[in-house]
């Protein structure tokens, strides 16, 4: 008899004494009376456990085998039911808790946004709330198609979205709209022009008529490859010129920043305060004496009463940690940081490589200037439509 | 009854039939830790060091340490514990 079965059906423990207690075991086996957990106390005494409903049969068998039975107690079954009857408030609390969990699972208490990249969380949550998805929303009343339509209408930056509700947790899958690529028709005539000034080093023409040669200096906007092709038999025809034009270019970028800055330093012992959020209602345990947040770093941790992936409840314990800090003036000691940012900025601008770079630092009235002087080799081709 | 069983057992033996089909006791020992007695006729003695089992035509004496009765039905008997010897009388 395993433990679970014993708990449900109930089991009784007996001590049996007699000249030959084995006779009772034989009688039990013959009668098909199951027993377990046999324990030898001495040569004339044994202890055994039987199912609760076999009590009468065992008590009838014992005198026939000249054994005396002594009950030692019981587990589960009637014994447990009697004990529970005495502790009815416990039962009531358990039933109320279960009922609360069942009822709370019909509502949404947690919203998870998956796939958010650039859109703000607040904007999306407001749009979802307007569409009916908010903490406390009745789950069976949600129509995913309607929510999708309303949110997509409200947030045009979204390309697609869906709401999956599992327990009390609503997972909102989002796909943000990507920028539309440049669309052109192959038959539209276009020139290739220089996107910046430089000295041409190599010209690779795929379509069109080249107008520049390696070693030639060009200015910004100058046509490098023409989209107008001459014909011996017909009038000139327009094509979409395509080319790669490698050129040496030069850049100078300057960034300014304050010469000094404030730096936070540890200002003492951190303090904690707690609040309980029930649905949309917040109960603060620190009264109305909230601290002004000047001079404090505030770190918020939320602990929701939930089992992840299974269920969620409206109860959420909020722990706020206030760490005091002191702002002290500190010298801006890192023009290297600015140099790296300038370097990164230039790399993002060009379609090529930086051949050489140098920096110069200048100090003005409370301002620090860092300039980047760079020589690059890059593709300066830029397609420009010919307007007829 | 006992005589009839013995005759039937001899008859089965002549026909090369398994003796346990005629109700003969069968002892199965697994790794010296679990002993199964089939076709028993009841317990004669039960202790942690020695268990005697009736087979109808004799008895089996199992000696060991920490012997306990795991399960018992009218035909089978499962004994757990370290078995050191088994005697057939």
Minimal CA–CA distance to A219: which of A199, A237, A205? Answer: A199
- Residue A169 CA to residue A175 CA, distance in Å, equals 19
Interface of A with B in 25-64 (CB under 8 A): 25-26, 28-30, 32, 35-36, 38, 40, 43, 46
Structure tokens at A353: 């490589």
Which residues on chain A are in Cβ contact (under 8 Å) with B45? 22
Interface of B with A in 11-40 (CB under 8 A): none
pLDDT tens digit sequence for A146-162:
999 999 999 999 999 99
Give me the residues paired with residue A238 across strands: A228
Which residues on chain B are in Cβ contact (under 8 Å) with A30? 42, 74
The whole-number pLDDT of residue B1 equals 46
Are the C-beta atoms of A35 and A49 separated by less than 8 Å?
yes
Q: Is the pLDDT of residue A287 over 80?
A: no
- Residue B80 CA to residue A186 CA, distance in Å, equals 88
Where are the alpha helices (H) located in A219-328, listed in sequence order? none
Residue among B64, B69, B75, B78 with most chain A CBs within 10 A, to mutate: B69
Asked if the C-beta of A311 comes within 8 angstroms of chain B's C-beta atoms, the answer is no
**Chains A, B: CB pairs < 8 Å:** 32
Report ipTM for this prediction. 0.79
Chain A: residue whose CA lies nearest to B51: A22
- Residue A6 CA to residue B4 CA, distance in Å, equals 43
Minimal CA separation from B78 to chain A, in Å: 12
Minimal CA separation from B11 to chain A, in Å: 28
Asked if the C-beta of B72 comes within 8 angstroms of chain A's C-beta atoms, the answer is yes
The whole-number pLDDT of residue A334 equals 57
**Burial of A131 per CB tally in 10 Å (0-12, 13-18, 19+):** buried
Are the C-beta atoms of B37 and B59 separated by less than 8 Å?
no
The whole-number pLDDT of residue A331 equals 63
- Residue A339 CA to residue A254 CA, distance in Å, equals 10
Fold of B23-88: Immunoglobulin-like (2.60.40)
The residue-averaged pLDDT of A300-317 equals 82
Question: Domain A3-81, what architecture?
Answer: 2-Layer Sandwich (3.30)
- Lowest mean pLDDT of A22-31, A73-82, A153-162, A197-206, name the range: A73-82
Give 3-state DSSP helix, strand, coil % of chain B, rounded to 5. Answer: 20, 50, 30
Q: Where does the pLDDT of residue A230 fall: very low under 50, low under 70, confident under 90, or very high at 90 and above?
A: confident
Structure tokens at A263: 């730096």
Share above pLDDT 90 across residues of chain A, in percent, rounded to a whole number: 36
The whole-number pLDDT of residue B34 equals 93
The whole-number pLDDT of residue A291 equals 57
The whole-number pLDDT of residue A47 equals 92
- Residue A302 CA to residue B27 CA, distance in Å, equals 65
Chain B: residue whose CA lies nearest to A41: B47
Cβ neighbours, 10 Å, residue A18: 17
Are the C-beta atoms of A158 and A113 separated by less than 8 Å?
no
The whole-number pLDDT of residue B61 equals 94
- Residue A73 CA to residue A230 CA, distance in Å, equals 111
**Chain-wide mean pLDDT for chain A?**
86
Smallest Cβ–Cβ distance between B47 and the set A23, A35, A40 belongs to A40
Minimal CA separation from B15 to chain A, in Å: 31
Pairwise CB contact (< 8 Å): A22 & B73: no
The residue-averaged pLDDT of A222-237 equals 87
Q: Where does the pLDDT of residue A172 fall: very low under 50, low under 70, confident under 90, or very high at 90 and above?
A: very high
Minimal CA–CA distance to A333: which of A252, A257, A254? Answer: A257
Q: What is the CATH number of domain A110-176?
A: 3.10.20.310
Give 3-state DSSP helix, strand, coil % of chain A, rounded to 5. Answer: 25, 45, 30
Evaluated on CA atoms B37, B41, B44, B46, the torsion sign reads positive
CATH 3.30.70.2280 residue ranges of chain A are: 3-81
Pairwise CB contact (< 8 Å): A38 & B69: yes
The whole-number pLDDT of residue A252 equals 92
Q: Where does the pLDDT of residue A217 fall: very low under 50, low under 70, confident under 90, or very high at 90 and above?
A: very high
Give me the residues paired with residue A246 across strands: A202, A379
The residue-averaged pLDDT of A65-82 equals 85
Q: Is the pLDDT of residue A309 over 80?
A: no
Which residues of chain B fall short of a pLDDT of 50? 1
User: Distances in Å between the alpha carbon of A216 and those of A246, A250, A298, A380?
Assistant: 11, 15, 61, 13
Minimal CA separation from A32 to chain B, in Å: 7
Q: Which of A181-185, A246-250, A318-322 has the highest mean pLDDT?
A: A246-250
Which residues on chain A are in Cβ contact (under 8 Å) with B46? 21-22, 25, 40, 46
Smallest Cβ–Cβ distance between B43 and the set A25, A35, A40 belongs to A25
Pairwise CB contact (< 8 Å): B72 & A29: yes
User: Distances in Å between the alpha carbon of A193 and those of A190, A198, A209, A210, A224?
Assistant: 9, 12, 12, 11, 5
Give Cα A140 distance to the centre of its chain. 25
Between B25 and A334, residue with greater pLDDT: B25
Are the C-beta atoms of A346 and A253 separated by less than 8 Å?
yes
Q: Is the pLDDT of residue A25 over 80?
A: yes
Q: Is the pLDDT of residue A313 over 60?
A: yes
Which residues on chain A are in Cβ contact (under 8 Å) with B71? 36
Pairwise CB contact (< 8 Å): A29 & B45: no
Structure tokens at A372: 């980047």
- Residue where the block lists tokens 């299974």: A310
Residues 6+ apart with CB under 8 A from A5: none
Which residues on chain B are in Cβ contact (under 8 Å) with A44? none
Asked if the C-beta of B48 comes within 8 angstroms of chain A's C-beta atoms, the answer is yes
């Amino acid at each position: 008899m395993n433990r679970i079965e014993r708990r449900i059906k109930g089991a009784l423990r007996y001590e049996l004494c007699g000249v030959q207690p084995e006779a009772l075991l034989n009688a039990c086996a013959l009668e098909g009376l199951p027993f377990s957990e046999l324990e030898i106390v001495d040569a004339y005494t044994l202890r055994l456990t039987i199912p609760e409903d076999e009590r009468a049969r065992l008590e009838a068998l014992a005198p026939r085998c000249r054994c005396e039975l002594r009950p030692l107690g019981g587990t589960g079954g009637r014994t447990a039911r009697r004990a529970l009857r005495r502790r009815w408030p416990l039962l009531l609390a358990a039933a109320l808790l279960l009922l609360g969990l069942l009822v709370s699972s019909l509502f949404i208490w947690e919203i998870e946004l998956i796939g958010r990249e650039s859109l703000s969380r607040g904007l999306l949550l407001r749009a979802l709330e307007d569409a009916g998805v908010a903490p406390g929303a009745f789950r069976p009343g949600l129509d995913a198609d309607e929510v999708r339509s309303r949110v997509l209408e409200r947030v045009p930056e979204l390309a697609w979205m869906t709401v999956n509700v599992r327990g009390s947790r609503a997972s909102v899958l989002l796909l943000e709209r990507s920028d539309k690529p440049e669309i052109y028709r192959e038959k539209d005539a276009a020139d290739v022009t220089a996107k910046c000034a430089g000295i041409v080093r190599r010209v690779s023409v795929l379509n069109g008529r080249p107008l520049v040669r390696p070693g030639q200096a060009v200015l910004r906007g100058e046509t490098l490859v023409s989209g107008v092709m001459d014909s011996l038999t017909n009038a000139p025809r327009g094509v979409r010129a395509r080319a790669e034009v490698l050129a040496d270019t030069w850049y100078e970028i300057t960034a300014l920043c304050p010469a000094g800055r404030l730096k936070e330093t540890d200002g003492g012992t951190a303090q904690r305060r707690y609040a309980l959020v029930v649905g949309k209602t917040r109960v603060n345990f620190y009264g109305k004496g909230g601290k002004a947040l000047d001079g404090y770093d505030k770190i918020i941790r939320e602990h929701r009463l939930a089992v992840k992936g299974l269920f969620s409840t409206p109860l959420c314990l909020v722990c706020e940690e206030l760490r005091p800090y002191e702002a002290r003036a500190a010298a801006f000691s890192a023009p290297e940081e600015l140099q790296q940012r300038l370097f990164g900025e230039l790399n993002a601008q060009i379609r090529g490589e930086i051949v050489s770079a140098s920096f110069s630092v200048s100090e003005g009235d409370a301002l620090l200037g860092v300039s980047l002087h760079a020589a690059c080799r890059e593709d300066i081709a830029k397609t420009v439509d010919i307007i007829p | 009854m006992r005589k009839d069983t013995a005759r039937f057992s001899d008859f089965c033996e002549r026909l090369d039939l398994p003796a346990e089909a005629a109700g003969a006791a069968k002892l199965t020992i697994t790794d010296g830790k679990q002993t199964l007695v089939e076709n028993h006729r009841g317990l004669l003695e039960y202790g942690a060091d020695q268990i005697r089992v009736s087979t109808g035509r004799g008895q089996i004496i199992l000696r060991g340490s920490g012997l306990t009765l795991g399960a018992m039905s009218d035909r089978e008997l499962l004994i757990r514990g370290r078995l050191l010897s088994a005697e057939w009388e």
